[in-house]
Amino acid sequence: MKSFSAGEVAAALKGSLYGVSEDTMLTGGVVTDSREVSPGDIYVARRGEQTDGITFAPAAVEAGAALVIAEAVPAVDGEHLPTLHVSDATAALGQLASLNVAALRESGDLTVIAITGSAGKTTVKDLTSDLLLSVGETVWPPNSYNNEVGVPLTALRADESTRFLVLEMGARTIGNLAYLTSLIRPDIAVELNVGSAHSGVFGSVENTARAKSELVESLTSGGWAVLNADDARVRAMHDVLAPGVNTLWFSSNPGSEGEPVVRAGDIESHASGRTSFQLQLPDEEPQPVELALLGEHHVDNALAAAAVAHLCGVESRTIATTLGTSGAASRWRMELIDSPSGVTVLNDAYNANPDSMAAALKTLAAMGRGDEETPPRRTVAVLGEMLELGEDSVTAHDTVGRQAVRLNINRTIAVGEGARPIYQAAHLEGSWGNEAAWVATVAEARDLLNAELQPGDIVLFKSSRDAGLRYLGDEIAGISGAQ
């Protein structure tokens, strides 16, 4: 964070100072977890669902916090702790991030990139950050810091040396992205896709599209919208752009329209799980790319990141080279691990929706088929529930079961009551013998896998995060500390 005086922060956040002088300079970082405090930090004492952060204010100050931002004024032995009293600590966190970004824009050359979509946000955030590091200091969020807490915390890590700030922005209701972009307006907004991933939360895919469009609506004249030309709902977002906003399309479909455009041609999937293609950037010579990421669905993610990098001045050869070496930076996203037992684990169980489930199964099938250099392998798909699908849940899970059969997955194991339609659909589609199974719990799935898996097998773990399959994937992979 840029250095501010306590008085400047108090004025911006419309709060009152206690136990600290207005002239006190705040030169540290900002945290919401008292266990992460370093000397000089600001500790924001948010009210959580289980605990109130103000309870830990004394420990934060003892660890060196220079200021506590809280909805009450904590004291120890009758003495006020250094506190900025505000009405809403979470809102104050966002206002502090807004102050920081505005000050950095005024004093330096900061470009803010914001990324949203029903799927792929974290992957594109990671790829984009890797690409931008080649031309300037870049700040990006760890994991999926994409809400009203994570976005400000990421923005508060930017300082005078930061050239690019990459933000992942998620939405659970209409208005979420409008709020986030009111705090931190992007210069480049990336719209990946609109799917049914959260239709149970938004009520419909149309409402999801409305919520996602708030990101590009925040752009002002001179800004850039990076839009997926192959997604009809994203294409429609072009119509809501403000006058003077530029558009850069990306597409993996040779017949797509829209100029300028970042394209992928000659797409080919390999038994290694990797995908190769020709990257065509506007006014540049085509560059061959073989993605380090596994799965053909990552071509679109790579194109989105390449489009941002192109706008930010990264050379085409550097883009191609980086895409060929940039693997999954965040855990449990098409993470390939060869276990000590000889079983290969493909752990993609952090998020799941119908599109990403289909993509993961296609990748597993391609890796199992082998090629001239790689022998065929037995494929096992361990599939848990896709959450937040609302009334479409049964139909979506039914489709997954049928896809597994049509892709000739050797063994499909559905885990949990919500995933039972996967098993039922596999049987209706023509699965026979013991190709498909259903178990009620992760523990039962563990026992079944331990009894059946053999060296040479490749096993996919795919589910929404709360289904818990990512930890089972770690166990089967032999990762120590798996929960």
Q: What's the CA gap between 273 and 328, in Å, rounded?
A: 13
Residue 121 annotated in ligand binding: yes
Look up tokens 């850039």; give the residue.
Answer: 224
Residue 440 annotated in ligand binding: no
Residue 122 annotated in ligand binding: yes
Q: What H or E segment, with its residue span, contains residue 232?
A: helix 232-236
By three-state DSSP, how is residue 61 classified?
helix
First to last CA, the chain: 35
Residue 401 annotated in ligand binding: no
The amino acid at 116: T
By three-state DSSP, how is residue 429 classified?
helix
Nearest in space to 311 (alpha carbons), one of 364, 250, 248, 252:
248
Q: What's the CA gap between 293 and 279, in Å, rounded?
A: 15
Q: How far is CA 142 from the centre of its chain?
A: 9
What string of DSSP letters covers 325-341?
Answer: T----STTSSEEEE-TT
Q: What's the CA gap between 139 and 154, in Å, rounded?
A: 7
CB 184 within 8 A of CB 158: no
Residue 2 annotated in ligand binding: no
| Residue 468 CB neighbour total at 10 angstroms | 19
The annotated binding site is made up of: 117-123
The annotated binding site for ATP is made up of: 117-123
